[in-house]
Amino acid sequence: MVRKKLNFFLQHLEEVGIDPNFWISVPYLLESGVQIKETRGWVWVEEEGRCLFPPMPLLSLAPVLEGCPVGEVWSDFDNGRYLLRGMAPVERLDWEYIYAPEKFQDMSGKPWAVFRKNCRKWPRKHPNWEYSYHLKSEQELSDLVLEWLMEKKDAVQDAEVLAAFTLSQLEGVSRKFLWDEEGIAAVNVWDENYKYRNFRFCICRSGEPFLGEFARLLFYRDAVGIGKWVNDGGTLDNPGLERFKDKMNPVRKREVFSWKKRA
């Protein structure tokens, strides 16, 4: 029932032309344990009593004139602020990075110099790498995820969702694995919505500089020709991650805000 309601909610977003944010996908929201709420011509998504996104009017824009039916909204949409009548942004939640996969084909010129150079370093030391959908060892993958979570434990959000996406073959979730002579080196995990491919996780073996750059390059080159840009999420208040994503030349970097009703 929740899946059916989520599909309806996403279909409604698409019909009215909402630009979906990073959290908009059926697999991600299902694993997050959300609920769909409805009242007075509105529908919205809640998690543990918190409204995640701007509520949507079900039949027309008339309810918008009365103002948003909730007191707070966790994350806005890029082009959906008209839905937040009577509210104001109260804090920046994160950044949101959008990339065009085709730009990763050439990567010529000065703007790409750092990322281009870094992407060459790991495969130069590991020339026998292989990138495929085939998972050779469930145990190696489990060990990689555990190692990564232990190393990043202070910076990881939604660890349970990460584990479910990476270790299980969930409907609507894709995984691709990077191997070398030592075993599994990295895994890329993604899902999609009606507008974007959402790059959920890039989990890499620890202690190997520039492995993350190469794994991301493989992901983006795989996405060439799918007819969608990639939503790569934010930075989680990590200045190093922000610098890293800036060097990948996004086509859009927007500020995502939380909103609250005006007093």
The predicted pLDDT at position 60 comes to 66
At 203-260, the pLDDT tens digits run: 999 999 999 999 999 999 999 999 999 999 999 889 999 999 999 999 999 999 999 9
% of the chain at pLDDT higher than 70? 97
pLDDT for 42 beyond 90:
no
Mean pLDDT calculated for residue range 22-37: 96
pLDDT digit string, tens, across residues 121-142: 999 999 999 999 999 999 999 9
pLDDT of 152 above 90: no
Residue 137 main-chain phi, psi, to 5 deg: -150, 115
Q: Which tokens sit at 90?
A: 């109260």
Domain boundaries, the chain: 2-93, 96-254
The Cβ of residue 3 has, within 10 Å, a number of other Cβ atoms equal to 13
User: Looking at this protein, which amino acid is placed at residue 78?
Assistant: D
Q: Which residue has the tokens 């104001």?
A: 88
Residue 240: is it exposed, middle or buried by C-beta count within 10 angstroms (0-12/13-18/19+)?
Answer: exposed
Per-residue confidence at 157, pLDDT binned at 50, 70, 90? confident
- Between CA 53 and CA 241, with CA 201 as vertex, the angle to 5 degrees is 85
User: What is the architecture of the domain spanning 96-254?
Assistant: 3-Layer(aba) Sandwich (3.40)
**Is 10's pLDDT higher than 80?**
yes
What is the per-residue pLDDT for 82?
87
Question: What's the whole-number average pLDDT of the chain?
Answer: 93
- pLDDT at position 155, please? 67
CB 64 within 8 A of CB 85: yes
> Quick count: other Cβ atoms within 10 Å of Cβ 122?
23
pTM, to two decimals: 0.94
Residue 135, classified by CB atoms within 10 Å of its CB into exposed (0-12), middle (13-18) or buried (19+), is middle
**% of the chain exceeding 90 in pLDDT:** 81
Report, as an integer, the average pLDDT of 171-197: 97
Instruction: Decide if pLDDT at 8 tops 70.
Output: yes
Q: What is the pLDDT of residue 71?
A: 94
Contact 250, 88 (CB under 8 A): no
Q: pLDDT-derived band of residue 198, with 50, 70 and 90 as boundaries?
A: very high
pLDDT, residue 51, reads 97
The tens digit of pLDDT for each residue in 50-107 reads 999 999 988 766 667 677 889 999 999 999 888 898 899 999 999 999 999 999 999 9
Q: What is the pLDDT of residue 234?
A: 96
